Structure 1
Amino acid sequence: MKLFLVAGEPSGDALGAALMAGLKQLAPDVAFHGVGGPRMQQQGLTSLFPMEELSVMGLMEVLPKYRALKRRLEETARAAAEIAPDALITIDSPDFCLRLAARLRELRPQQRTIHYVAPTVWAWRPKRAERMARVIDHVLALFPFEPPYMERAGMTCDFVGHPVVAEPWAGPDQAAAFRAEKGIGRDQPLLLCLPGSRRGEVRRLGPRFGEAIARLRDREPSLRVAVPTLPSIAPMVRQMVEHWPVQPVVVEQADARRAAFAAADLALAASGTVSLELAANSVPMVVAYDFNRLSWWMIRRAALIDTVTLVNIVSDTRAVPEFLGPDCRPGPIADALARLLDDDAERRAQIEAMEVTMQRLGRGQEVPGLRAARSVLDFLARSQ
């Protein structure tokens, strides 16, 4: 069996790697081709080109790279057509991946297609599911409420669980060791600063996050800060924080990142899946995010819900405070962080919402990568 997989973001790389591991367990003869990052490569994928070339988000961010992305799309489609896989499996990154599926269908009309991560049609642009159904046969959904949306549009869909419930997390011993190694006392509050995994996000959010943390430090002089990040952007992050009045610990290795999450008392995070990582560790958070003005205007016009934080959405609460777009300002963000330090009731409300979220996403069930692999194989068996 030959599968052609394409991921364009670190989160997609993690999903793809877990899926590949599950497929190898259930179908040992499987062969992988496509585009992916280091985790997928560890599972046996030789990437056509660096996955980071596809890691672009937002209208104004995409425009300067449009021609390069278009060339990569054509290159990828032709490579897939030549391999003639049993299925094309695209993972998140819908702007690139769905165009790829459409182009491959032009080259190879009988191609079976699977997309991992349902589009958030429950949040904005609901007609995306109908357009997606023109080029996608089957969907692997991360959230339990998504299959009906996909099925109404004409695709088959399985809820396979969210990968956050299967991630290994550090325990109290590792948390204590992290604090001791970094010289952080037990009574010193530790804040995680998480300004995103993309360079554009870090450039846009980093200065505002730094100012908010400086204001919080004025109220809480014993505050310590850690910035978990990825090796690919760690040099940029270190350069950014070197002039902050609160000198943070920059953490890039996976084990140290997990220990930092376990040791933290609260977090300031960009919107995204990191909110679920924090929820898995019961770390209360404030979420803040901003696009350029045009991208933000377009998103607000299309939004169907009043929150972007996944903990709020899955738990059906609004426990996590958000500062989005023009509200992404240091002063109000610092105020919200201070309340998390001082208000036990607000912290408890978040932790309860996090527990509900993890249960609904599949904690305690079969791991999502294996569930996703079963779904892929079942779809291929049905569609022969």
Structure 2
Amino acid sequence: MAGEPSGDALGARLMAATRRLTGGQVRFIGIGGEKMIAEGLVSLFPMGELTLFGVFELLPHLPNLIRRIDQTAAEILRVRPDAVIGIDSPGFTLRVAKKVRAAQPSIPLIHYVAPTVWAWKPKRAAKYAAIYDHLLAILPFEPPYFERAGLPCSFVGHSVVEGGAGRGDGSRFRAAHGLADRDRVVVVLPGSRKGEVARLLPDFRATLERLMPRHPNLVAVVPTVATVRDRVAAALADWPLRTILVEGDADKHDAFAAAEVALAASGTVALELALARLPSVIAYRLNPITVALYRRLIRVKYVNLVNLMLDRMLVPELLQEECRPDRLADALGRLLDDPQARQAQIDGVAEVARWLGQGDVPPSERAARVVLDLVSQHPNRG
């Protein structure tokens, strides 16, 4: 079960690895997006219904969310799968798992992507331990937080390293889109949720408009996903500079290779940008009341995982009241104007790929091996 595009990518890679390891003797049902469906998932309903974030953004959709939780739990109990894997999105996956655990304890429950108990709500470790049989962690320092609470946890690495973010073809992209050598490409990533796009795209537009007098050859490349593509395309129609809308990982990664800088919503894409060695500015804004609640709970200094892992502000983060066009333009302009500033970011993320699990065994295969071992040790006897 995945609830947003980043989870869909994780799920698709896990499914592909599981199929390879089992010689194709596996079947998938659940909830996922286009990537999981392409790997053979039969999705119970469109994943886009779950792509929500923030307390007040969620409230209007709560009745449908509750209905989908009940529907999913009932389907799991009917099918009796060999394992249930929830991928992040705890507002949905945790609630489904809780219902399944109460009704049928024999079904193995696994969660993929550890909740950030090191950042906020440390008591969640015990909550997960009471429900799940195993946790798959994407960061190397996470397992002890959960093992202390009695939940077995395996570090498998972050499958973003498998996505090809650092292997794009910039020359191909420039040739395909008629970009001249003098054109300076900035990749603009406003997020994959409707709320993110609505909040961030106007400020991103105003940011680039401020930079145009100094950089008249600026070209914005905007990667998007199916769930928000039409919304993004409509917003780009009146942008004051040339824009190129792309969809799909191949074009996105080629755009990374063709670009000098990126302006991005906070999220998994920040790791992709680090792997691509593309200097970036990270921005985000939520409903002010939602933020006021979160700020009382947050225990870390940064939101960008690159900065968290390095324990310093390497990649500029402009959040909430700091997320405004003048500040964003200053930060992005510095990267455009100063080659040394760009190189400092490139050099600073050199260790991040290793920490995320790059190596001989892909993270998705490590995760699949853990899942298959658990299934073999914990057969669903009913």
Alignment root-mean-square deviation, CA: 1.5
Amino acid at match of 2:103: L
Q: Give identity over the alignment, percent.
A: 47
Offset of 1:135 from its aligned partner? Answer: 0.8
Aligned to 2:50: 54
- 1:304 is aligned to 2:293: no
Superposed CA offset, 1:19-49 (max 9, x none): 1111112223222221111221222211111
Distance 1:171 1:133 in 2: 38
- Unaligned 5+ runs, structure 1: 1-5
1:162 maps onto 2:172 in alignment: no
* CA offsets 1:111-137 (integer angstroms, 9 cap, x no match): 221000000111111111111111112
Deviation of 1:252 (Å): 1.4
Change (3 A) 1:170 1:186: farther
Q: Which residue of 1 aligns with 2:113?
A: 117
Determine whether 1:105 maps to 2:116: no
Q: Which residue of 2 aligns with 1:366?
A: 361
- CA offset digits 1:256-283 (Å, max 9, x no partner): 2221111110000000000111111110
Which residue of 2 is the match for residue 226 of structure 1? 221
Aligned counterpart for 2:199 among listed residues 196, 200, 204:
204
User: More displaced, 314-323 or 279-288?
Assistant: 314-323
1:291 to 2:286 alignment: yes
Question: Offset of 1:73 from its aligned partner?
Answer: 0.4
Within 5 A, what are the aligned runs for 1:3-22?
Answer: 6-22=1-17
Alignment length (residue pairs): 378
CA distance in 2, matches of 1:150, 1:344: 42
Aligned mate of 1:25, from 20, 29, 48: 20
**How many Å separate the matches in 2 of 1:124 and 1:170?**
31
Secondary structure of the 1:248 match is strand
Q: 1:320 to 1:379 in 2, by over 3 A?
A: same
2:35 aligned residue: 39
SS in 2 for 1:226: strand
Q: Determine which of 51, 62, 65 is the counterpart of 1:66.
A: 62
Report the CA distance between 1:169 and its aligned residue.
4.2
Shift of 1:232: 3.0
In the aligned structure 2, how far is the partner of 1:106 from the partner of 1:236? 40
**Cα deviation per residue 1:198-243 (whole Å; 9 max; x = unaligned)?**
1111001110111011111122222111111113322211110111
- Residue 3 of structure 1 is matched in structure 2 by none
- Native 8 Å contact 2:192 2:227 kept in 1: no
Q: 2:110 is paired with a residue of what secondary structure?
A: strand
SS at match of 2:40: coil
- Once the two structures are superposed, the pairs formed by residues 171-250 of structure 1 within 5 Å of their partners are 171=167, 174-250=169-245
Q: CA deviation at 1:340?
A: 0.8
What's the CA shift for 1:171? 4.8
Runs of 4+ displaced beyond 3 Å? 169-172, 381-384
Within 2, Cα distance between the matches of 1:180 and 1:86?
A: 48
Which of 76, 88, 91 aligns to 2:72? It is 76
1:7 alignment partner, SS class: coil
Q: Give distance in 2, aligned partners of 1:171 and 1:57.
A: 31
Shift of 1:316: 2.9
What residue number does 2:336 align with? 341
Which residue does the alignment assign to 1:137?
133
- 2:349 corresponds to: 354
Shift of 1:165: 1.1
* Maintained 8 Å contact 1:121/1:149: yes
Cα offset, 1:344, TM superposition: 2.9
SS of 2:354's equivalent in the other structure is: helix
What's the offset of the Cα at 1:194? 0.5
1:377 matched to 2:372: yes
Structure 1 residue 180: Cα displacement: 2.4
CA contact (8 A) 1:311 1:353 kept: no
What SS does the aligned partner of 2:221 have? strand
Letter in 2 for 1:307: Y
Aligned residues of 1:241 and 1:247 also touching (Cα < 8 A): no
Q: Structure 1 residues 73-82 or 124-133, which shifts more?
A: 124-133
Deviation at 1:170, TM superposition (A): 6.8
Q: Does 1:128 align with 2:100?
A: no
Is contact 1:311–1:354 with CA below 8 Å preserved after alignment? yes
TM-score (norm 1): 0.95
